[in-house]
Amino acid sequence: MQSIWFWKDWSAAERNIFWVLTTLVILIISLFCFVYFQFPSLAFIYNQFQELELVEITLRNFDVGPSSIGVPADNLLLFETFAGSELQPTSWIYYVFLFCLTIGFIVFLSFVTTLKRFAFLAGIGLSILILANFHWESIVLFGLTNKATALVVISIYASIAYYFQSYGTHYRFNFRLLVFGAITLVLALIVVLASQVTNPFLHLAVNGLTTGIIMSIVFILMISHEITALFITIVTNSQKPTKSAAHYYIISAIYLANLLITYLIRERYIYWDIFTVNSYLLLTFSAIIGLWGVRKRESLYADSVTVFSTVTYLYLGFFLITFATVSFCFTTHSTTMMEGFNDIILFTHLAYGIIFTAYVTANFGPMLLANLPVHKILYKPSTMPFFTFRIMSLIATFAFLSFSSPLTSYFARATAAYYNAYGDVYQMQGDAITAKAYYNKSISSRNRNHHAHYALATMYASQLDPEHELKEYNNIINSTPSEITFLNYSDSYQTNDNFRAAADLLTAGLRIFPSSGVLLNAQALNYYNLNLLDSSMLYFQKARKNSFTKEAAEANLFATSALLKLKFPADSLLTLLGSTEIGAQSNAFALANIQHLPLEIKIPLTKDTVLTVGIAALISNQLINQHNKIDTALLAPILSLAKKPCNATFKEYIFLAVAHAYYTSGLVSKAFELLRELAFSTGQGKYFHLLGIWLLEQHNPSTAALYFKTAEEKKINSAAFLQALAWTEADSMARARPLWDSLTTTKNAQANSEAQFYSKIMDLKKLDVLQQPDALKYGYCRYRIPLTDSILFHEVTTSIKDEPLRIRAILDRSKNWLLHDDPMSAIRCLSILKGTTLRDKALADDILVINLMLAAEISDWSFIQNKLNQELPVGFEIEKIYWQALLDVQDGKTADATRKFNYLAIANFQFEEVMLMTAKYFFKNESDKMKPYSILVNGLLAKPNSIKLLKEYVYQSTLLGFESESVQAMAKLKKLLSPTAYQKFEREGIMPIKY
């Protein structure tokens, strides 16, 4: 064990230096492992983008006469895609590299001062070359751009080194390290204060890159035999070794065979799809075991070194520099030098391994056969000197290198890496022109140069120069293809809508990188743009298998499923995929919305101030999905979030979804308020169109027609048809007729057919009605037969054989009587249906609701109470509150009634019966008579032709002394009521002025 822990025999000062250097080495190995496994994400990252596609769906349908009207809603599909970023700023690795290089140089220079004369001269000569290679003039110290600065720096270090070697031999190694370290710190301070360039240490780091590469190669050569040397130790370092020679040659053969196979596969002599030896794993393992190997070689440098612990320090210094250099190459994606190191490590280990086996055989073959402990004398050769082994190994290495590529190519790779590093420095400083010049110089040194071509491509992209951008990407594809390049290259085609070319390019990329998630996802999106949705689904499924793109692919899979209107239930698909990510859940809601399937997913409102695309889409789609059961208390904070300026991009989507939720929950007035804000702030026709649809559903066709007219002017397709329908519903045939006539000539087949149907109703003569189909008879009953002509109505409805249509005609007429404030006539009309068996649930619900409304008109509280005790139809929440409030009044529950009527006063201005009874209640129970008056005004602003509201308005205006308002309301009633009905109201009402 003592030989393993060799440093235990050292002095405390020596151990301290050893542990400081060892700690730095451990840290740099850790950094290398980190950047290796992060490669290439420290230099390039995949930016993830989210794009929204709006798909209109029908939220629900309602009937307006013979027509079924769909309520449109926005369904947001979220597509997630990736694109390669520009070169990422990695300035920190420059400082790490410069720090390690500096420490390694200080250790090297301190070691040189301990050497004997000839070795010292060789060492100080190398030190001078290293210092000169920093090109001190490039950082313009004190404004100097000549070699004077370098001469001063070299003189300081060289003179002190000479002093230590010649006169200060009594100084310990740790003192020498401290002196050179102090000089270096002073020099660093001078650089900070006196340099006239931006980031001078970045320049020094780049200038030191050549030194780092050379010292790394020296270190690689130094340790390339360590693994085969370890085999000797393993097979001979035991108490009773047996078959040492056989074991050694078998292990060495396996090791060298693996290296040879790796070489043959890498050089494409064979095409085996097997795991091969990783060069950087070889380097790391050799470097670690070499720490003990260097101790065993003390006899080889006894003539030059006096203190053997310093050799270990030198080794650790080289170790530090080598892994800092390699880490720099990986972090900055310096592929030219990475390729060079990859080859050099493999070829040196192969060459040195083969020659070292020959060295062992020549010197210790008989001893191995005799099972003697060869490891103890491994570096005390008798036949082949160790120096000969080094020379032969070096020759073999050059042979492998030159056979793979011309030796000059390795110099070109190092030069290209140097220029790339300088290009990155200027790119980080924002000097694109100089950066571009260095990248071009790098390419001139080595055209097979992913780093430089990619940097130029992204620079051209930012300058909107697609021609040169594509040229640079093409150079990469033809030389050093990568996933990120194929991705960006295809994205350039997609940006110009050339999806076919993008598909061909991605197909080529997937042949090289068949499991690339980003390319599979991109191809799937590309097929989606080509409308090849089945292929798109297939590629999204493949992209799901990649952990990096799994979440995005699942979100896109749901989006495509929604476009395909997949029948597989959204909740089951979400459970099957098991995704809890925002994109997938948002699109799951979108698919469920298309399927009209409620999703039971409780997603808390985000606490973040700034909404992301995914969160905004999720909120919007969830509100649409759960519009009929959402807790309205949640809507206010959602609106507050959407109103923040930072969320202005998503305000429109969320406002619309919240408006739908308010509308369905019964807070119709709030829904109209939000939708009007959207309509008039954005000017988009679809919002005017939706306002018109809601007004039709609220039985306010005359106002709806005005919104449809605006929507038609804004090129909304169905607005013309709905405008004609609205005027027809408003009994304004003079306005409706020309609109129907124009629609009969439209190219839209459905609109044309419906227009012809309504035109037939308009043209139908009384004598011909009974010979028409039931649908026309129903339309004639709804639009052509006056309320006063009960005989004709009875005759036509009796002839309708379609039972649901006959019931609907009678129900429509009853509702019409109620609108004209004649509940008794409505009851008589509805009594025709007494005893009729109702098979249509929607019709049955409709009849129950109107019966309850009529019961409220005639104060039949027992009927209302009885029905409320039963299960009422879904979707009539406001009506239920209204009926319960009326019962509370009858039961003397004033507090409960007041609370309910306060809610009803603001819930739905379009609901005239509610507005009327609310105004009456507060007129009777409130001292402030302006409150009920305001409720009436709100109701009349929503429905200016409401007969019921106008009558109450006349009454309250008269009592409040608003004579002119009362007169105006009476004038309006005179136009709306039949002479008989008007005269009846005159007799019964309060008339401040005689007409």
Q: Which of 316, 100, 341, 88 is nearest to 205 (CA)?
A: 100
Q: Please give the Cα distance from 598 to 64 (Å, whole number).
A: 26
Q: Please give the Cα distance from 479 to 132 (Å, whole number).
A: 35
Find out whether 53 and 538 touch, Cβ atoms under 8 Å: no
Q: Which of 44, 133, 55, 118 is nearest to 83 (CA)?
A: 44
Is 0.85 surpassed by the pTM of this model? no
Find out whether 389 and 356 touch, Cβ atoms under 8 Å: yes
Find out whether 921 and 890 touch, Cβ atoms under 8 Å: no
Q: Which of 178, 572, 213 is nearest to 412 (CA)?
A: 213
Question: pLDDT value at position 382?
Answer: 83
How far the first Cα of the chain sits from its last, in Å, is 123
Q: Please give the Cα distance from 336 to 593 (Å, whole number).
A: 53
Q: Please give the Cα distance from 177 to 946 (Å, whole number).
A: 99
Find out whether 393 and 355 touch, Cβ atoms under 8 Å: yes
Question: pLDDT value at position 492?
Answer: 86
Which 3 state secondary structure label does DSSP give 364?
helix
Find out whether 304 and 115 touch, Cβ atoms under 8 Å: yes
Question: pLDDT value at position 992?
Answer: 40
Q: pLDDT per residue over 581-612, tens digit each?
A: 888 888 888 888 898 888 876 655 666 678 88
φ, ψ for residue 46, nearest 5 deg = -90, 110
Place of tokens 């039971």: 600
Q: Please give the Cα distance from 518 to 526 (Å, whole number).
A: 12
For residue 791, how many other CB atoms are within 10 A of its CB? 9
SS (H, E, C) 758-804: HHHHHHCCHHHHHHCCHHHHHHHHHHCCCCCCHHHHHHHHHHCCCHH
Give the DSSP letter of residue 305. Answer: -
- Residues in the chain where the model's pLDDT stays below 70: 1-3, 302-303, 601-608, 989-995
Place of tokens 């005239």: 912
Q: Which of 576, 573, 602, 570 is nearest to 589 (CA)?
A: 570
Q: pLDDT per residue over 822-858, tens digit each?
A: 899 999 999 888 877 777 888 888 899 999 999 999 9
Cis preceding linkage at 40, omega within 30? yes
Find out whether 89 and 428 touch, Cβ atoms under 8 Å: yes
Q: pLDDT per residue over 636-681, tens digit each?
A: 888 988 898 888 889 999 999 999 999 999 999 999 999 999 999 9
Q: Please give the Cα distance from 603 to 173 (Å, whole number).
A: 66
Give the DSSP letter of residue 893. Answer: -
Place of tokens 């009349």: 940
Question: pLDDT value at position 565?
Answer: 83
Question: pLDDT value at position 801?
Answer: 92
Find out whether 577 and 612 touch, Cβ atoms under 8 Å: no
Question: pLDDT value at position 498?
Answer: 87
Give the DSSP letter of residue 925. Answer: H
CA-CA distances (angstroms) from residue 933 to 348, 612, 926, 949, 974?
98, 45, 11, 11, 21
